[in-house]
Amino acid sequence: MPKAANVLPEDLMNNMMGKIFDIITNGDGTTVPKSEDNFFAWTSPGVPFDIEDFDFLSQGFTGVCKPQMITNPDGTQSTEPMDENKRLALEAQDSTKMYQQAEQFARFVDVIPDASGIDDTKVRMNIKNDEGTLSDVYEETLRFSQVANTELTAAEKAKIERFRQLLQVEREKEDLITGEMVKVIEESPLVKLYNEKMQAWMEAALEYNSARIDALTASTPRAVHNWAINANVLRAKVKFSYNDWVNNGYKNEFEGIAARIDQMSSRDLSLLKALYKDTLEKSRITGISSGADFFYTSLAPANFAKSKGWTRFTFTNNDYSSYSKKTTKKWGASGGLSLGFFTIGGSAGGQKTEFDAKCDFSSFKMSFEICQVPIVYPWLKKNFLTSKTWRFAQGNEGFKSKFLSDGKKPPHRDSMLPAIPTAMIFIRNLKIEFANASSVAHALDSKIGGGGMVGYGPFFIGGSYESGSSEKSRQHHSDSQGIYVDGLQCVGFKCHLLPKSPNPDPAIKSWV
């Protein structure tokens, strides 16, 4: 079996990405169940984020006054004095920043993955643009659909409303443009706890999978010893986090409520659909700078970017020979992802070209911390989309023959909503170590100096990139051992394939 020094760079990267894919999506079926998500989509290259880009998740839209520190004549430091008007101005400025962060993030994940070329495991994150955004398609589905013509009793209607209030809360906020108080919908404390505990379980499962796969590939004696000695501890950690999800994250309660709503949806979907339309409308926010509407979306937990509990990932040239025995996927061929070579792209996201840096991978090692974070769309009701009690209005020529998904793998190209992003995959503190790192870094610096952006597979290496309406830059640093990229970046999305939808029950004869 060839070592990394004798294989093509793209084969080395292919095997490494296969290991990442297994850690993220493949459980052992016992301690960690097999993932129900159908495919993983890589970004190309990674998308950099600052930790501060997610302040809105924990702070909300309320502005916070953050006085600057000043140096006094005697050399001591104190907070800058300010009057009430200046304090209010700083709070308004900070509130505007929170709205802008929320808008930028909501637009980043309000996308429909193009799943037409998947083969169950891999694809580059291409965006399906022909049907609009995720919120566009969902809004059209609510507007142009018919539901089963049934009616609930007053008691049943009251029960649905009680269930709904357990999953979402309504609050008032001030519209910064009009000054009026408007009502918005957010996830309830129960849902927040559910998502936080689920994310903790996912992190424990990720750590367990990583150790198990390292031992199975047997790249180092340490990996085998670690699994032999610590497997019980890691398995207990997964079980503890799962029990914590059940006991303190209201797992059974949340899923029971969702199941009851789904069960009752076969009785009077017209009422439930009206509630879903109301939820969507109350999640609508007008962008401060753009003036365009967006729908509030978040990540759970809110403090993930500052958490210390990320999983450590390492891949060395010794992993190649063992992991290639089971890795037969070719990530670049069908997914459009450039492997093995550095890519140079314009700062405005223009044309990218491959750059063969002549890397010496005889002592290759890549390491980083990895974390998967669930995406929370409080306005998106997936159980409605998968219900058998709706269809597109048959009297509407533009929609009667349309479909969200045909449920096949891969889905038909005409599917309006073949897949939904369910989680973002972040890494931080990327290290790429190889023999001639110093000379390669020098060559990359000259490329970045020209205003370009450098990527390596799904990873961002450095250069200029767009963040909202502004342009930022992030530089790598290097020494004779390797190239290092500090900070946070999104390298992909975990996506769920939608089953056949609509898939109306043929027993339903009356629609409204």
Tokens coding 310: 């990320």
Contact assessment for residue 453 and residue 45, using Cβ atoms and an 8 Å cutoff: yes
* Digit-coded pLDDT (tens) for 216-270: 665 567 777 788 788 888 888 988 998 999 989 988 888 888 877 766 655 667 7
Q: Write down the pLDDT at residue 339.
A: 55
Q: Write down the pLDDT at residue 328.
A: 36
Is 190 domain-assigned?
yes
DSSP annotation string for 193-225: HHHHHHHHHHHHHHHHHHHHHHHHHT-SHHHHH
Is 504 domain-assigned?
no
- Cβ within 8 Å of residue 477, ≥6 positions away: 483, 484, 486
Q: How confident is the model at residue 336 (pLDDT cuts 50, 70, 90)?
A: very low
Q: Write down the pLDDT at residue 272.
A: 80
Higher pLDDT: 399 or 27? It is 399
Residue 102 pLDDT > 80: yes
How many domains does the structure of the chain reveal? 1
The whole-number average pLDDT for the span 397-419 is 90
The whole-number average pLDDT for the span 58-84 is 82
Residue 445 pLDDT > 90: no
Look up the pTM and report it.
0.73
Contact assessment for residue 200 and residue 174, using Cβ atoms and an 8 Å cutoff: no
| 231-256 CB burial, b ≥16 within 10 A, e <16 | eeebbebbeebbebbeeebbbeebee
Contact assessment for residue 500 and residue 53, using Cβ atoms and an 8 Å cutoff: no
Q: Write down the pLDDT at residue 162.
A: 83
Q: How confident is the model at residue 376 (pLDDT cuts 50, 70, 90)?
A: very high
Least confident window among 30-44, 377-391, 470-484, 496-510: 30-44
- Cβ within 8 Å of residue 44, ≥6 positions away: 124, 125, 336, 337, 338, 343, 455, 457, 458
* Digit-coded pLDDT (tens) for 112-141: 988 776 654 445 556 666 668 999 999 999
Is 73 domain-assigned?
no
* Digit-coded pLDDT (tens) for 173-187: 776 666 677 777 778
Q: Write down the pLDDT at residue 310.
A: 92
The whole-number average pLDDT for the span 371-377 is 93
Q: Write down the pLDDT at residue 166.
A: 85
Is 489 domain-assigned?
yes
Residue position matching structure tokens 């349309």: 402
Which H or E run includes 32? Answer: none
Q: Write down the pLDDT at residue 38.
A: 63
Higher pLDDT: 154 or 430? It is 430
Whose CA is closest to 283, among 189, 160, 169?
169
Q: Write down the pLDDT at residue 1.
A: 43
Residue position matching structure tokens 């903790």: 200
Q: Write down the pLDDT at residue 349.
A: 45
Least confident window among 268-282, 308-322, 397-411: 308-322
Tell me the three state secondary structure of residue 490.
strand
Is 72 domain-assigned?
no
Least confident window among 5-14, 91-100, 415-424: 5-14
The number of beta carbons lying within 10 Å of the beta carbon of residue 356 is: 9
Is 74 domain-assigned?
no
Contact assessment for residue 258 and residue 194, using Cβ atoms and an 8 Å cutoff: no
Q: Which domain holds residue 279?
A: 4-57+86-497
Whose CA is closest to 103, among 292, 279, 278?
292
Percent of the chain topping pLDDT 90: 25
**How far apart (Å, rounded) are the C-alpha atoms in residues 338 and 356?**
11
In the chain, the N- to C-terminal Cα span, in Å, equals 64
Least confident window among 25-34, 38-47, 224-233, 325-334: 325-334
Q: Write down the pLDDT at residue 490.
A: 94
The whole-number average pLDDT for the span 296-305 is 92
